[in-house]
Amino acid sequence: MASAALGLGALAVAPPASASPESDAKDLFARGRDLRNANDCGSAAPLFRKAWQIYPQGLGSLRNLAECEEALGHFASSRRAWLDLKRALITAPNDPKYDGWDKDAEESAARLKPKVASFVVDVYVKSPEGEALANESTGVEIFVNGESVGTALVGTPLERDPGTYRIRAQTTDAQPVEQTVTLSAGDNPHVTIRLTVTPKPKQAAPPAEDHSTRRTVGWIVTGVGAAALVGSGVTFLLRQGALGDLDDRCSTHRNCPEDLRGTVDTGKTMSTLTSVLLPVGVVGVGAGLALVFTSKSSPSSAESGKSAGSVRVAPSLGGLSVSGRF
């Protein structure tokens, strides 16, 4: 009893076996065979196709697909399936159940060839360098009735059942072009499509910022500020001179002679001008130098003189002296 319980416990925790592609393909094949035996190839063909795709070694699915497609009148699809079977048999293991299949595939493909049509899409790509015939390396993509056939089949025969087809060619930087072709059994036309490639214009580089105006304004402001500083120095000296004359003749600055009124007025005026010009000069020189030194030099100006734009403000006999090199 204990051993039986252990055995049951092991079965309870054993992970479920995962289905293999082969078992899935066999299940699809069996369902497809049932549908085909019921004369429903329309529902059976997709099952055969999927079974072969997930397990290519199951060549029975491919043969049943070829036979079902022919029964449905899809001669081009049937012929492709027979040719795929013929190629697969080359590398298939030597199994007695495949005896004679190679001959069947070859004869069926040959029998169906007159019933299908084919066409070749020739795409010419015109660009500023000239016009050339596209090939698999040019990146031209072909669509047949909205279904892409890729870029590798440009200039290659494409087999289809008789009917009307909408062919579209497209590539980068070109307007897609469509053509319609009607095919009858045995037709083999060439469909010519021309694409015109118009490269996108290159975006112009943004214009380099012109810093010369900024530097020029900076020097002008600096010059005005420097002039104001010099002016404040002159007015300060004149104020001091008037004050000295007043001290010499009227040290108490009260009840002074009438002829000193002009000296007093001059002193007051120069004092007012000094108090105005000095801050204007300081702000002007500071702002101007900030504009000059925060502007980037152009390569030409940098090469013309690495020492350009130096300025020096220093005290002098008249108040301040400003010198610069340009």
User: Has residue 3 got a pLDDT over 60?
Assistant: no
Pick from 114, 148, 170: which residue ends a domain? 114
Closest by alpha carbon to 129, among 202, 199, 200, 201?
199
| Greatest CA separation for the chain | 145
pLDDT for 34-64, tens place per residue?
999 999 999 999 999 999 999 999 999 999 9
Average pLDDT of span 242-255? 75
Q: Does residue 225 contact residue 290 with C-beta atoms inside 8 Å?
A: no
pLDDT for 113-169, tens place per residue?
999 999 999 999 998 888 888 877 778 999 999 999 888 888 889 999 999 999 999
Residue 177 lies in a domain: yes
pLDDT for 282-302, tens place per residue?
887 888 788 777 876 554 444
Q: Which of 197-211, 220-234, 259-273 has the lowest mean pLDDT?
A: 197-211
Q: What pLDDT shows up at residue 208?
A: 64
Residue 47 lies in a domain: yes
Q: What pLDDT shows up at residue 85?
A: 95
Q: Does residue 225 contact residue 282 with C-beta atoms inside 8 Å?
A: yes
Instruction: Give the domain range for residue 126.
Output: 117-196
Pick from 143, 167, 196: which residue ends a domain? 196
Question: What single string gives the DSSP state of each residue in 15-40?
Answer: PPPPPPHHHHHHHHHHHHHHHHHTT-
Same domain, 314 and 223: yes
Residue for token digits 């105005």? 276
Residue 18 confidence class, pLDDT cut points 50, 70, 90: low
Same domain, 79 and 160: no
Same domain, 250 and 305: yes
Residue 12 lies in a domain: no
Same domain, 75 and 134: no
Residue 43 in tokens: 């529902």
